[in-house]
Amino acid sequence: MSQNVELDKVVMRFGEFTAVKGISLEIKGGEFFSFLGPSGCGKTTILKLISGFLDPTEGEVRIGGTSMRGIGANKRPTAMIFQNLALFPLMSVADNIAFGLEVRGVGKAERRKRADELLDLIALPGQGDKMPTELSGGQRQRVAIARALAVEPQVLLLDEPLSALDLKLRQHMRAELRDIQKRTGVTFIYITHDQGEALTMSDRVAVMSQGTLQQVATPQELYDEPATAFAAGFVGENNRFAGTISAIDGGFAVVDTPAGALKARNHLGLAAGASAIVCVRPERLRLSGTGSENGFIARLKSRSFEGSFLNLMAEGPSGELMVQVTNDGALPAFDPAGALPLGFHATDAVIVPAEAGHA
Amino acid sequence: MRHGNPLLAWLTRGYIGLFFLYLFLPLIIMSAATFNDSRLPTVTPWNGTTLRWFGELFADGSMWNALFTSITIGLGVIVICVPTGTAAALLLASLNKKARTFAYALMVSPLLTPGVIIGISTLIFWNRYFHLTGGILMTMLAQSSYIIAYVMLMVGARLQRFDGTLEEAALDLGASHWQVFRRVLMPFLRPSLIAAAFIAFLQSFENYNTTLFVRGLDTPLTVFIASRVRTGVTPAVNALGLILILITVALAMAYEVNRRRKLAATAAAPAG
Amino acid sequence: MRDLYRRFGGGLTTLMVALVVFWIIMLVVLPQLLMIDFSFRPNLPPSKIGGPDDVHSWANYATLFRNQVHLTIFFKTIWASSLVTFITLIVCYPMAYYLAQVAKPQRTAQMLLLLVIPFWINEILRTFAWWIIFAYAGPLNGLLTALGILDQPFRWMSGNGVVIVGMVYAYILFMVFPIYNALESLDRNQIDAARDLGSGWLRVHRRIAIPHAKPGIATGCIMTFMLAAGSYAVPALLGSPGSRWFTEIIYNWFFEGGNWNQGAAYAMILLLLCLFFILLMMKLFRVGLADIAK
């Protein structure tokens, strides 16, 4: 009961402004797929292009292999969860859920039956006669999902639906959304600027910036093998060392940086002479004596104790650095103004190309 | 006043009292004259209390005709103004800022035009190009030209608080444009539509200056009352006035009760 | 427009645009334009319309300036309407201020309702109420003679004074509500701050409340002046042949003189007068059209 969604060289222009700059990708049927990016990156425009509130300036959106050009939002096999939920305030919860069936001409008794089934699915049995305003934030959230599922969509589109909830509820709803997706098997397309949401729920994530696709990958690939400097910086924290590739060594490369020649994985196969950035996650930086692999000296600036780990902020040869040290019961004493010898294994770092015009 | 100057407080109270006395005394005198057993509508001298002017009023066929004419015009005005004013409010909201400013100025201009001018221009235009003579239909058109603006303002005020994503949500769930309009937008606008219909009828019912030029041979209630006052008035007109005042007061009360009930309901609703 | 189409589809959008176009074009713009055209043409029998005599000229406008009686009435209408506007402003400002800043919200709501009731009653009936009061054998004369202030009843309805009183009464709420709306948004703290700084009662109004109420005052004055200058009901009921109003002359051109062209020219003059007053107020109070028509 789910179909794939294809974007084929999709371009969307609003007057002078180009919101989406030629994006092609395929979202598989039954997949939980997220678009992740900062506000203004074009991810909401993509959602509107799929749902039918916008038609692309160029290119094509296909659902289940059928072109959607000229097909309005009300004729597409998609259903959307709006950021503000957009529950109809003057209709009861059951009427809200059954609205899609009502406009399809389904009889009253049948509508009520479906609404009750869906209320069971979202764990709100017997609440159909309440008004949306009588529900809590999390309950309203679930009603919006039930309303979208009632029309048995092939694809469910979610526009940052958790952003209005408080932290605890948000984490709970992540698990619930994931669970509903697994049970129904519907393709979920999720829009968010919150990397935590994208990483925990998704099968695959598309990272977007300024209308372009930076990387499409599983959460773990995204974290461990970022394809661009933007993806490396936007998903999780990363320490960067910019420089020029001086040597290639199998799957590794050496980059000449202010911190010295650093060796890291060359998973993208960059050539010697290219401007590149070595990215090392804070938890992969190690406190080490001098002379170890990829070693350099930084200066400790501050530290913050987080319980299970310790964050060190340091000034390195090529800018600020963050080091995360696991609290294994044997934390060394730090000299507050002293030298901090750091290093990392070549397998723990990756090399991405430097982007023009970006720091 | 709050600042505790007793003279100022006393002056304020006196002024407020006089203001409301000024507002209501004429209406009270007019109402009281209904019950005076005198050929002329007055309260001095009091010739004895009577209800006979109500009888005379109800027996007055031309009054009933005038009332019927006014109600017909009022209903016609509702039929023209509520849909058109609503359409104007929706159209206005969808225009870009520059076009909206211009359209808005054009749309509210009838409210800043003297009523007699609206009557005259309607009379000339519809008579010259459509050979329409003055009468009920032309009166509806003339009154509508400015009452639509009232409806537009009232509906527009509520429209500003409308959440457009509700329409998108309905469309997304498969509703046709007509279903979106009927099931989502209209229920939201309903209170303002009812209020606008009410105001439109009231404006039409009490209009005199515009109506005078376009009524032709038909006589709406305002024209009827004015001509009675000028040519031999009896307290039957007061009886009519009293009835209209009582209806008005009853409506105002109903409005107030409804408002308080809603206020109480909002206060009782759970937060969040 | 495209937004409308996207929201409501072709059919509804067409219907809505058609309704609005009908209103603006057929009920507002074209009638006004034709009235202007009419005012520049001579009054001709139907057979000669469109003939060689049917040419534009200022003749209908010149009539006003050649007719001493009409000209006097025109200027009387201007100053009397200005007077009505001024009196109404003086009477209403304290009430609007009281409602917006002094009274407690609950009391304000009650008083607003009380104010609205006369507003909902016919202008004709409200004027008729004053007709009863001012009648020769009416309560005012009764009271004044009983108190010995008058020896014999006075014929009130023979001058402009009664018309002005009637108009102030008829249009008072068009002044109260705009000023109230403007003053309602004035932060009470501003007034307290000014008083705290030692400002007197008058200065609070002159420097804080009145400047804040400007758009409301402008709106109220425009509405009142427009209604007064364009009033037919009040002078027709409370006036006498000796205190005619400009609108009554216009009416006579149409329905007694049978000269619509002449009437249209007079109507245009009235319209221009109101337009001039609106522009004057906008300039005087430095407010825009959007502030006025709220």
Taking contacts as CB-CB distances below 8 angstroms, the residues of chain B near C274 are 112-114
Of A88-92, A111-115, C76-80, C193-197, least confident by mean pLDDT is C193-197
The average pLDDT across A29-38 equals 93
Q: B121 in contact with C at a CB cutoff of 8 Å?
A: yes
pLDDT at C177: 92
Packing angle of the helix pair C139-146, C123-134 (nearest 10 deg): 30
CB contact under 8 Å between C123 and B206, yes or no, is: yes
From its phi and psi, is residue C169 left (phi > 0), alpha (psi between -120 and 50) or beta? alpha
Closest CA of chain B from A122, distance in Å: 18
- Residue A76 pLDDT > 80: yes
Q: B37 in contact with A at a CB cutoff of 8 Å?
A: no
Of B164, B152, B153, give the one whose Cα is nearest residue B188. B164
Phi, psi of A342 (to 5 degrees): -125, 165
Q: Are B123 and B134 in contact (CB under 8 A)?
A: yes
Taking contacts as CB-CB distances below 8 angstroms, the residues of chain C near B27 are 118, 121, 126, 129
Q: β-pairing, A32-36 with A187-192?
A: parallel
Q: B59 in contact with C at a CB cutoff of 8 Å?
A: no
For C:198-237, CB contacts with B below 8 A are 201, 222, 226-227, 229-233, 236-237
Taking contacts as CB-CB distances below 8 angstroms, the residues of chain C near B209 are 230-233, 247
Closest CA of chain B from A6, distance in Å: 19
pLDDT at A92: 92
pLDDT at C294: 52
Cis bond upstream, residue B26 (ω within 30)? no
Taking contacts as CB-CB distances below 8 angstroms, the residues of chain A near B173 are 74, 79, 99-100, 103, 147-148, 150-151
For chain B, the structural domain boundaries read 27-59, 61-231
Q: C169 in contact with B at a CB cutoff of 8 Å?
A: yes
Q: C139 in contact with B at a CB cutoff of 8 Å?
A: yes
Of C58, C125, C87, give the one whose Cα is nearest residue C268. C58
CB contact under 8 Å between B212 and C38, yes or no, is: no
pLDDT in tens, C206-247: 888 888 899 899 999 999 999 999 999 899 889 888 788 999
CATH number of this structure's domain C67-293:
1.10.3720.10
Closest CA of chain B from A186, distance in Å: 16
Tokens of C245: 């109003």
Q: B258 in contact with C at a CB cutoff of 8 Å?
A: no
Q: B79 in contact with C at a CB cutoff of 8 Å?
A: no
The Cα B242–Cα B248 span in angstroms is 10
CB contact under 8 Å between B173 and A148, yes or no, is: yes
Tokens of B53: 């002017």
Of C12, C109, C251, the CB nearest to B212: C251
The Cα C186–Cα C101 span in angstroms is 8
pLDDT at A331: 73
pLDDT in tens, C105-139: 888 888 888 888 888 888 888 999 999 898 888 88
Taking contacts as CB-CB distances below 8 angstroms, the residues of chain A near B179 are 103
pLDDT at C221: 94
pLDDT at A358: 44
Q: Which of A44, A49, A90 to mutate to test the interface with B (most CBs of B within 10 A)?
A: A90
Sorted by sequence, the CB contacts under 8 Å of residue A121 that are 6+ apart come out as A146, A149, A180, A183
Name the residue with tokens 């040419």: C55
Tokens of A71: 């097909």
For chain C, the structural domain boundaries read 67-293
Of B182, B190, B183, B184, give the one whose Cα is nearest residue B155. B190
The Cα A223–Cα C187 span in angstroms is 53
Of A73, A136, A150, the CB nearest to B272: A136
Of C11, C17, C139, the CB nearest to B43: C139
pLDDT at B1: 43
Taking contacts as CB-CB distances below 8 angstroms, the residues of chain C near B45 are 142
Q: B28 in contact with A at a CB cutoff of 8 Å?
A: no
Residue of B nearest to C116 (CA): B252
Mean pLDDT, consecutive 10-residue stretches, chain B (272 aa), reads 69 92 91 87 83 89 93 97 96 89 91 92 92 94 96 93 90 89 92 92 92 94 90 86 89 80 67 39
CB contact under 8 Å between C22 and B30, yes or no, is: no
Cβ–Cβ pairs < 8 A, chains A and B: 71
Of B168, B174, B272, the CB nearest to A137: B272
Q: Are B245 and B31 in contact (CB under 8 A)?
A: yes
- Which amino acid belongs to residue A105? G
pLDDT at A216: 94
Return the partners of chain B (3 or more C-beta pairs < 8 Å).
Answer: A, C
Q: Does domain B61-231 have CATH number 1.10.3720.10?
A: yes
For B:153-182, CB contacts with A below 8 A are 163, 165-166, 168-177, 179
Closest CA of chain A from B259, distance in Å: 18
Taking contacts as CB-CB distances below 8 angstroms, the residues of chain C near B30 are 125, 128-129, 132
CA A283 from centre of chain: 21
Distances (CA, A) of A148 to A26, A141, A178, A201, B173: 22, 11, 15, 19, 7
Phi, psi of A216 (to 5 degrees): -125, 120
Of B29, B94, B177, the CB nearest to C132: B29
DSSP letter (8 states) at residue A294: T
Q: For chain C, where are the alpha helices, taking DSSP H only?
A: 2-21, 30-39, 59-66, 68-97, 105-120, 123-134, 139-146, 160-184, 188-196, 201-204, 210-229, 233-238, 246-255, 260-285, 289-292
Of B168, B179, B272, the CB nearest to A86: B168
Closest CA of chain B from A87, distance in Å: 7
pLDDT in tens, A301-322: 888 888 888 888 888 887 888 8
The Cα C212–Cα C218 span in angstroms is 11
pLDDT in tens, A187-244: 999 999 988 889 999 999 999 999 999 999 999 999 989 999 899 888 888 899 999 9
Q: Work out the mean pLDDT of chain A and round it to a whole number.
A: 88
Q: B34 in contact with C at a CB cutoff of 8 Å?
A: no
Q: β-pairing, A204-209 with A32-36?
A: parallel
The Cα A300–Cα A312 span in angstroms is 7
Identify any residues that bridge with A208 across adjacent strands, giving them in sequence order: A213
CB contact under 8 Å between C129 and B26, yes or no, is: yes
pLDDT at A356: 60
Closest CA of chain B from A219, distance in Å: 30
Query: Which ipTM value was assigned to this complex?
Result: 0.88
pLDDT at A359: 38
